[in-house]
Structure formats: structure tokens, C-alpha cells
Amino acid sequence: MSNLPKVSIIVPLYNEVENVEPLLTYTHQVLGTWQHPWELILVDDGSRDETVKQLHTVAARFNTDIKIVELQRNFGQTAAMQAGIDAANGELIVTMDGDMQNDPVDIPAMVAQLLERDLDLLSGWRRKRKDKLIIRKIPSKIANMLIRRVTGVHISDYGCSLKVYRAAILKKVRLFGEMHRFIPAWFATVTKPSRIGEMEVKHNPRTLGTSKYGISRVFRVIIDLLTVLFFQRYQTRPGHFFGAFGLTIGLIGFVILSYLAGVKFILNEDIGSRPLLFIGVLCIITSLQFLTTGVLAELLARNYFGSTTNAPYTIHAVTHFSNTQADPTGSAASSQSA
């Protein structure tokens, strides 16, 4: 058992008070005899209901390694997931939703698959998805198709939160905004796409609480996808992106002004009132703007990679329930630090 890597299971929660007890109870039931050492990291993303109180009440019942990370306010699922990653001590990291739709029973098989296939990331695939067709399934299919085509990372279900990662690789990726949907694409910037795989997992219908997602997320996915594409190709060389536009537009402006110079000095025609003159000048000015933006982007990139990245969240408190502090009656003591 000592040779098996420790697994950190991260569960972000937002207004999921009804699911706290069944989630913790079921997770301990299915992982109670698992040979891997594991810890459970529950991240409350600024819930407005009694989720935090329920987390503390239920977590104290179990003689296992549980951390409760409370964010100061609602930062979003991506920041909550990053907070859990930063708090994780395991060599392997598992992420899953707190709405009971991801099934913890898949975790042992996924961890075994990742180790057996020597992968850095194993993503869950909800082939038999238990969601509404128009609001969830169709937008998800469209989004998955777009992401695969644009990023080149062929994962069938980007939206499945149930994933297993090697912590050493995952911690090289910083998650911001709503980028949790694109983690496999971000992963491809620090590891080979061949070390990213997928596995079919169970998907349960939501029975408690309300969904936090709607069809409006499709538009956010498209916008975020453009950001992923930029960082995937030009993260370390943004000057190439802006420079390509600048040189192309500058070349067009140079051709236009060269033509007008020939008309002026060879044919001796007036060019002062020609719209083409303004287009040529505009192209040259735009080209200079793109080129200078590229230089500034290169400077920012160098400063970014040479400095410490700030976390996209603020922690209110961290509560650690550890089996090493259990009393003879079986209840766990807790230690809290802000």
C-alpha cells in the first residue's frame, strides 16, 4: 500500500446543501476498501445556502482525511477547482462535480487505467448522459466538436468534470476565468496529446438541488475557445501572432502606396483625393500598431513566465479533518486556519 500513489479527490460545491451528506456518505462507501491512500478536498465556492455548515457537520463523522476549503465569495467553478488543486497533497488528482451526477465508483478504475496506460490525464466520457436534450446534450455536442476541431485534442466529452491527473503536470497549468472546460487543451501545452486519454464513465441524473448551467454557456465556450487557441499556439511567442497581422497589413499598405507613388510621379496624376491613399496610409498605421503590440506582448510574456503567478481566488478558511486526530469514540477533531 505504501508504494501506491496518494490520490487527492477535489469536489467544488456551490449551493449544494442537499447533496453534501449523500455525496460524502456514498464516496466513503465506494472508496472505503480502496488500497490507495486518498484525501477528499471539498471546496465551497461562496455558497449562499447552508452548504458550508453541512460540510463541517458531515465531515466530522468520518475517520478519513478531509479538507474543507472555503472561498471568500463565489469565484466560479474554475477558481474553486484551482483552489482545490493548490490544496492537494496527492501524486494523483481526481476532480468531480458535487451534484452526484459524477459517480465516485468510477474513480478506482480510472486511476488504475491512468497508471496502466501511463497517461498524464484520463478524462471521463459520459456516453450515456442523463441530461436534458435541448438545454444540455445538444449544446454540449456542438461545443465538444468545436473544441476538438480547434485544439486538435480529441476528447469526446470536454464537459465531464470527472478526470484523473498527474499532479506534477496539472500544477504546471494555472486555471483562470471559466477554463475548466478546456483542461485537456491546456494540458496539451505542457504534455504530449498522446498522454491524454479518455474512459467511459457512469452518469447519474440530478435528483437533488438545481443545475447551475444553461444554454447561455455556449456563447461563453466560443469566446473562451478563442482564448485557448491563442494561448495554445502563441503563449510563449505572442509577438508572432501580432507580427503576422502587422506584416500582412503593412505589405498591403506598401503595395498600395507604391502604386500611388507611380501614379503620382510617373503618370503625373493627382492622388490627393483618392480613397486608396487613405486606405494605404491606414494600413501602414495599423501595421505599426500591430507590430508594437507584438513587442509589448513579448515583454509581458517574459515578465509573466519570470514571475510568480497570483492565484485567481481568495481563501476565507481551510478546515482539515484528519484521521490522525481521531478520538477513541471514532469522531474526528478538526483544526482550522485562515
| DSSP symbols for 1-37 | -TTSPPEEEEEEESS-HHHHHHHHHHHHHHHTT-SS-
Kindly tell me if the per-residue pLDDT of 305 is higher than 80: no
- Strand extents, DSSP E, 117-185: 121-125, 163-166
What is the rounded average pLDDT of the residues 97-108? 88
What is the rounded average pLDDT of the residues 195-221? 70
Beta bridge mates, 68? 42, 319
pLDDT reported for residue 6: 95
pLDDT tens profile 115-144 = 999 999 999 888 776 656 555 666 677 677
* CATH class, 7-235+310-337 region: alpha beta
- Rounded Cα distance between 311 and 79, Å, is 8
User: How high is the mean pLDDT of the chain?
Assistant: 82
Kindly tell me if the per-residue pLDDT of 192 is higher than 90: no
- Rounded Cα distance between 8 and 92, Å, is 6
What is the rounded average pLDDT of the residues 290-306? 78
More confident residue, 232 or 278: 278
What is the rounded average pLDDT of the residues 239-267? 90
- Start-to-end CA span in the chain (Å): 33
Kindly tell me if the per-residue pLDDT of 315 is higher than 50: yes
Kindly tell me if the per-residue pLDDT of 1 is higher than 50: no
- Model confidence at 337, pLDDT cuts 50, 70, 90, reads very low
Please give the share of the chain, as a percent, with pLDDT higher than 90: 38
pLDDT reported for residue 335: 47
Phi, psi of 207 (to 5 degrees): -115, -20
Domain ranges (residues) in the chain: 7-235+310-337, 238-305
